[in-house]
């Protein structure tokens, strides 16, 4: 039985937002995680090196955007055996986000529903954190950049790129849109790509959750990416749900229940991309079998969030070990 499986019932007694804050506070100290990482061999299961968007990864399992939104936890998170970290979404200015509660757990389903509304300490803060971490950087960092205009996102791209390995462009966050509002993600992407032609680091794009299920929109977005020299896309399977436990009453579903949709979306994206850009799989990955099915379907790498909450800090090691034993 792992230490986390003993701690989890205590953590889960707390309201999800509170537990989330507590976990973040614990991860602000690097030393205990260095010790834990060394003692429990969290970094030892580097099984199959991977490559995403031209970035070499020690292993294909990363932490997804949203957990370290402000780049505050890089030292500790680097010790946990992930092959890469996706930080952010970094927003242009400090934002409070949506009203609390913003996070609901459904433990029986290993699901999370969030309506964070992209809270952020703002880009200036995140850039300082990335800059301070740069000298100690031991694993690849992808930084997810958010914003509500092409100019804001392009500016964010140029400000973070000196300190990261690749930038992930977030085209929208459904949690800040009102009902019935339409966001032209592909039009926004075209504008952004026009503004970041002089970039030095690889650009990657997070496929918006409402674009992913439509063949027409997904193929159009992928063609726009390829025409604009984008090196990789992240595709998941999150979907909007009514959730009375949230302050907003509705949010986005993540975790185990979205895995099948995420895998199906990944397969379609790999088909449309036809080897012309890399695809990062995401959505409800908890086990080596699920990770293997995404890698076998053509994912260059995978990132996860819910499994980190439900299974704890050993999740990357666990999945990597499982991948290694499958390969043996
Ligand atoms: C609480 C929470 C906050 C998130 N915040 C962000 C974010 O700021 N930017 C982003 O691109 N994705 C964000 N995500 C989405 C995750 O990166 C990921 O795509 C999603 O959780 C699905 O993966 P999972 O099933 O492994 O959790 C967030 C997810 C959760 C649960």
- Checking if the pLDDT of 297 tops 60, the result is yes
Percent of the chain with pLDDT over 70: 95
Q: Looking at 91-105, 149-163, 169-183, 217-231, which range is the least confident one?
A: 169-183
If one counts every other C-beta atom within 10 angstroms of the C-beta of residue 264, the result is 15
* Number of independent structural domains in the chain: 1
Higher pLDDT, 10 or 230: 230
CA distances from 65 to 145, 206, 262 (A): 10, 10, 16
Q: How far apart are CA 263 and CA 290, in angstroms?
A: 9
- Checking if the pLDDT of 11 tops 70, the result is yes
Which whole number is the average pLDDT over 170-199? 81
Atom of ligand 1 nearest to the CA of 103: 1
Residue with tokens 């749900």: 241
**pLDDT value, residue 101:** 97
Query: φ, ψ for residue 117 (rounded to 5)?
Result: 70, 35
Mutational pocket test of ligand 1: of 62, 65, 109, 172, the residue with most ligand atoms within 8 Å of the beta carbon: 65
- Whether ligand 1 lies within 6 angstroms of the CB of 59 is answered as no
* 328 Cα–ligand 1 center, Å: 32
- Whether ligand 1 lies within 6 angstroms of the CB of 253 is answered as no
Residue nearest to atom 10 of ligand 1 (CA): 65
* 4 Cα–ligand 1 center, Å: 21
Look up the CATH number of the domain holding residue 233: 3.20.20.70
The string of pLDDT tens digits covering residues 100-137 is 999 999 999 999 999 999 999 999 999 999 999 988 88
- Checking if the pLDDT of 174 tops 50, the result is no
- Whether ligand 1 lies within 6 angstroms of the CB of 120 is answered as no
- Whether ligand 1 lies within 6 angstroms of the CB of 314 is answered as no
- Checking if the pLDDT of 222 tops 90, the result is yes
Mutational pocket test of ligand 1: of 20, 66, 68, the residue with most ligand atoms within 8 Å of the beta carbon: 66
**pLDDT value, residue 33:** 81
Give the range of the structural domain holding residue 218, as residue numbers without chain letter.
Answer: 3-327
Q: How far apart are CA 284 and CA 270, in angstroms?
A: 18
The string of pLDDT tens digits covering residues 20-41 is 988 899 888 888 888 877 777 7
The string of pLDDT tens digits covering residues 133-161 is 988 888 999 999 999 899 999 999 999 99
**pLDDT value, residue 45:** 58
* 19 Cα–ligand 1 center, Å: 16
The string of pLDDT tens digits covering residues 230-251 is 999 999 999 999 999 999 999 9
Omega before 89 cis (within 30°)? yes
- Whether ligand 1 lies within 6 angstroms of the CB of 282 is answered as yes
Residue nearest to atom 6 of ligand 1 (CA): 66
- Checking if the pLDDT of 209 tops 70, the result is yes
């Amino acid at each position: 039985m792992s230490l986390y499986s003993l701690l989890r019932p205590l953590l889960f007694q707390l309201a999800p937002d509170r537990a989330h804050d507590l976990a973040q506070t614990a991860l602000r100290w690097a030393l205990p995680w260095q010790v834990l990482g060394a003692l429990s061999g969290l970094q030892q299961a580097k099984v199959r090196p991977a490559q995403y968007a031209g970035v070499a990864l020690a292993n294909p399992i990363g932490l997804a955007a949203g957990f370290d939104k402000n780049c505050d936890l890089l030292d500790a998170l680097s010790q946990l055996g992930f092959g890469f970290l996706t930080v952010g979404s970094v927003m242009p200015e400090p934002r409070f986000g949506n009203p609390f509660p913003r996070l609901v757990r459904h433990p029986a389903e290993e699901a999370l529903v969030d309506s964070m509304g992209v809270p952020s300490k703002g880009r200036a803060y995140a850039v300082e954190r990335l800059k301070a971490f740069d000298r100690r950087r031991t694993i690849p960092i992808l930084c997810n950049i958010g914003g509500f205009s092409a100019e804001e996102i392009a500016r964010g791209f140029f400000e973070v790129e000196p300190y990261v390995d690749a930038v992930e462009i977030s085209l929208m966050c459904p949690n800040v849109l009102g009902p019935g509002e339409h966001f032209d993600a592909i039009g926004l992407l075209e504008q952004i790509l026009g503004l970041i032609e002089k970039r030095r680091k690889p650009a990657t794009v997070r496929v918006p959750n409402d674009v992913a299920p439509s063949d027409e929109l997904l193929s159009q977005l992928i063609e726009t990416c390829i025409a604009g020299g984008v090196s990789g896309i992240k595709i998941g399977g999150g979907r909007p749900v009514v959730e009375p436990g949230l302050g907003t009453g509705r949010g986005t579903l993540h975790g185990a229940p979205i895995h099948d949709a995420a895998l199906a979306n990944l397969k379609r994206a790999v088909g449309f991309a036809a080897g012309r850009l890399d695809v990062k799989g995401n959505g409800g990955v908890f086990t080596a079998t699920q990770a293997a099915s995404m890698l076998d379907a053509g994912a260059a790498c995978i990132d996860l969030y819910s499994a980190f909450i439900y299974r704890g800090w050993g999740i990357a090691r666990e999945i990597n070990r499982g991948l290694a034993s499958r390969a043996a």
